[in-house]
Structure 1
């Protein structure tokens, strides 16, 4: 990814550090579509990224669907790690690598907790009060991949202007290396 900027963060794998992780990702969302000089850029209807008069200097713009959707998806995946992979015990760290592109944001999340088979997560029959995180993330991202470990690896990507692709985002799993 030419011209991409990288931010890396390693934090304890607990919910107490959730807000810090979200803040780093939210600030990174604000940098997507900006050139290295800090000038705001915007994806147009024709798929080009051009200068924009929109500015996000005044705090978090959750009315911006790119930011709100990415933060929702990231939060759901992040929550699953302390709760399920580390079983609510401070057993390891979460490493987050944010790649800020000209028209996309990719977050790679790594943990050493318990892995699972993502294909075994059932589609809900109704609207339960829990168990929807992966489905929420899938609906808000252009690419969501999970590689069970150890270490477990999540790959989340969203584009300002989604590429012309199938109706639903991909959800792939890579079998663990032997």
Structure 2
């Protein structure tokens, strides 16, 4: 994990992790430790970590199909009011070449019929902006920004 202050005052964090849930958790813990004491640290009530965790978990589960040994690159730029994020992986592309729509799940059903999944992209799309996905034949690149204030 690398971190540096940029000329404009933003705080850049770059990470490389393995395609496992354990590495995702360790990376998020490491990022939080780096942010301690930084003036560009997001407010505690910000949802940035939820969005990052959801995207990373989707990469592990879908792009790498829960197989270890896949590289995930993460680039975060913390500014006073915005977090710009770039995710890169080398796994399977998104179906149909685009991120899921993130339609809300119907919760007006019996407990037995409640879905186990399907909430992730709704959360990602609800809490982020400027979502852009590109697959170039070898890698998947997802960029988004998260308002912090």
TM-score tier by shorter-chain length is 0.7 to 0.9
1:105 to 77, 83, 92: 83
2:128 to 141, 144, 159: 141
Deviations along 1:101-122, one digit per CA (max 9) or x if unpaired, are 2322222111000011335556
Quote the residue 2:145 is aligned against. Answer: 157
| CA–CA separation in structure 2 for the residues paired with 1:96 and 1:119 | 18
Distance 1:120 1:79, change over 3 A: closer
Quote the residue 2:106 is aligned against. Answer: 126
Quote the residue 2:110 is aligned against. Answer: none
Asked if the contact 2:130–2:145 (Cα under 8 Å) also holds between the matched residues in 1, the reply is: yes
Structure 1 residues not aligned, in runs of 5+: 41-55, 162-178
| CA–CA separation in structure 2 for the residues paired with 1:122 and 1:157 | 16
Deviations along 1:55-102, one digit per CA (max 9) or x if unpaired, are x9xxxx7xx321xx1111111111011110001112411111111223
Distance 1:119 1:8, change over 3 A: closer
Asked if the contact 2:82–2:146 (Cα under 8 Å) also holds between the matched residues in 1, the reply is: yes
Alignment of 1:28-43 (within 5 A): 34=39
**Higher radius of gyration, 1 or 2:** 1
- How many residues align? The count is 133
2:55 to 77, 97, 100: 77
Distance 1:30 1:134, change over 3 A: farther
CA RMSD in angstroms comes to 2.8
SS of the equivalent of 2:57 reads: helix
